[in-house]
């Protein structure tokens, strides 16, 4: 697919672009080394097939160093009581430690948010560990608000904040 080769954004020496199938081993490796929450290889493939425009990678010198994957869900609005919504869900975002604090996380979230908005999502949400203050600050900077605390959300028993914003 020719669209997958198109750079969405440059951030210094880094490029944000759509994920390609051949990127998947590196994406999965980044997930395994950067986050305690892991998904099956099949799950990554399903998300890429389902919504390729919101499954993005950050790369430097042709090497993938970060990713974001999202999906679209339908149901009760997180932000507006008693309404139905088409919601974008940021399932996972990670950047290798040596490439953090360079604007990649922000760029990935902004580009994925735009892709979800282009697919007529009215809001976007994510879950984040309550202990991940750096990520929480980034999401707040991007306009996300804590809407609830999810008790015992993670396998290790840690709570999560559900954060959301209107698109």
Tens of pLDDT, residue by residue over 109-136, are: 999 999 999 999 999 999 999 999 999 9
- Picking from 125, 2, 11, the residue whose alpha carbon sits closest to that of residue 57 is 11
Q: Are 40 and 143 in contact (CB under 8 A)?
A: no
**pLDDT digit string, tens, across residues 5-51:** 457 899 999 999 999 999 999 999 999 999 888 899 999 999 999 99
Domains of the chain: total:
1
Where would I find the beta strands (DSSP E) of 19-122?
55-60, 63-76, 84-95
State pTM to two decimals. 0.92
pLDDT at 96 over 60: yes
Q: What is the pLDDT of residue 36?
A: 86
Q: What is the pLDDT of residue 6?
A: 55
Q: What is the mean pLDDT of the chain?
A: 93
Q: What is the pLDDT of residue 3?
A: 43
For residue 135, what are the domain limits? 2-166
Q: What is the pLDDT of residue 2?
A: 42
CA–CA dist 14, 101 (Å, integer):
12
| CATH classification at residue 122 | 3.40.630.30
Query: Mean pLDDT over residues 137-162, rounded?
Result: 97
């Amino acid at each position: 697919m020719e669209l997958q080769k198109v750079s969405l954004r440059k951030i210094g020496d880094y490029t944000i672009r759509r994920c390609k199938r051949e990127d998947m081993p590196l994406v999965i490796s980044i997930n395994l080394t950067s986050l305690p929450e892991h998904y099956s290889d099949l799950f990554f493939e399903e998300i890429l097939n389902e919504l390729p425009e919101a499954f993005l990678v950050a790369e430097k010198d042709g090497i993938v160093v970060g990713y974001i994957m999202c999906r679209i869900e339908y149901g009760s609005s997180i932000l507006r009581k008693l309404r139905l919504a088409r919601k974008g869900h940021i399932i996972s975002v990670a950047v290798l430690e040596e490439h953090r604090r360079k604007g990649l996380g922000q760029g990935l979230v902004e580009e994925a948010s735009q892709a979800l908005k282009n697919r007529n999502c009215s809001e976007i949400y994510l879950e984040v560990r309550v202990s991940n203050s750096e990520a929480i600050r980034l999401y707040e900077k991007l306009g996300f608000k804590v809407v609830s605390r999810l008790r015992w959300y993670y396998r290790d028993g840690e709570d999560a904040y559900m954060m959301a914003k209107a698109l």
